[in-house]
Amino acid sequence: MQKRILGNNGLEVSALGLGCMGMSFSYGPPKDQQEMVALLRSAVERGITFFDTAEIYGPFINEELVGEALAPLRDQVVIATKFGFNTEFDPRDPKEGQSMLNSRPENIRKAAEASLKRLRTDVIDLFYQHRVDPEVPIEDVAGTVKELIREGKVKHFGLSEAGVQTIRRAHAVQPVTALQSEYSLWWRRPEEEVLPTLEELGIGLVPYSPLGKGFLTGKIDESTTFDKNDFRNVVPRFTPEARKANQALVDLLGAIAEKKNATTAQIALAWLLAQKPWIVPIPGTTKLHRLDENIGATAVELTADDLREIDSAAAKITVHGARYPEKLEQITGR
């Protein structure tokens, strides 16, 4: 597995990471714990060193899973986790005046201590603010993480789904190692302002949902049904009508995949890897054969002509449907 560097402080990780959320959260019921422990350890055997989780995934159970699986291999891996959601917030029964977000310094510290215990480690390699909290100045957030770094509890500071002004303000207080944001062939907005800013400041990009929440694998069509607990049921981009309209993008990837003797998913990941040397996608999976397929993307070489062909064809395709329900869309890209 090739390696890449995130940020200017030398955080070296595998060119492809593993997003762990779906093992416990968001895509149906939690998967079998021991099967997922085995999958995580298999990922390390195959050269993946970068694992992504968050306290809100579950909440808590995903960090516990990652902690159990990786504790015996701790010196071989980089673990990223996140703070910034109010873990007591219940969207089904929100209490009056209660916010979904909480990046107050005391909550960041509390989250860090709890994550350290669940992850069975004495240091968090990369600690992201999960979403920008408009109630807390980003300088206070960055300053708190800076203190945690000084105390040896955190190694690197990250942001997730932050806008360019927030990135600049945070970076001025504590250098940001990585920004985690959605980025793929069906969500390219980061190219407008975010990518140039990251390049200027020397910050890595960690694209989540690099396979469009599964859609860019070509395994989902307008007739696909999801588990009742699957988050995609409420995502506008996953209505049957939107899926039918968005099939054109999958067909494009499929045509390139055929020429390259690769899979549709591998082309989607290879396209991301070809954009910048400091981009490290974190596709998630719960299946070993999909993990192997994703890893195979690192061996797919897209030429400048291939990339031009993809860009030219993609420019003619309009992606239908918002990427989040309205309430969640409001807390992204600040």
Q: Which amino acids are annotated catalytic?
A: 57
For residue 268, which of 183, 210, 181, 309 has the smallest C-alpha distance? Answer: 210
For residue 149, which of 101, 103, 109 has the smallest C-alpha distance? Answer: 109
Quote the tokens at residue 99. 């916010």
- Helix, strand, or coil (residue 321): coil
Tell me the DSSP string of 149-171: HHTTSEEEEEEES--HHHHHHHH
Quote the tokens at residue 191. 């190219």
Interhelix angle for 105-118 vs 61-70, to 10°?
40
Burial class (CB in 10 A: 0-12, 13-18, 19+), 28: middle
Tell me the C-alpha distance between 60 and 308, whole Å: 43
Tell me the DSSP string of 41-87: HHHHHTT--EEE--TTTTTTHHHHHHHHHHGGGGGG-EEEEEE-B-T
Is 78:125 a contact under the CB 8 Å cutoff?
Answer: yes
Three-state secondary structure readout of 213-264: HHHHHCCCCCCCCCCCCEHHHHCHHHCHHHHHHHHHHHHHHHHHHHHHCCCH
Q: For residue 34, give every residue at least 6 positions away whose Cβ sits within 8 Å of its Cβ, in sequence order, or none.
A: none
For residue 22, which of 238, 282, 196, 202 has the smallest C-alpha distance? Answer: 282
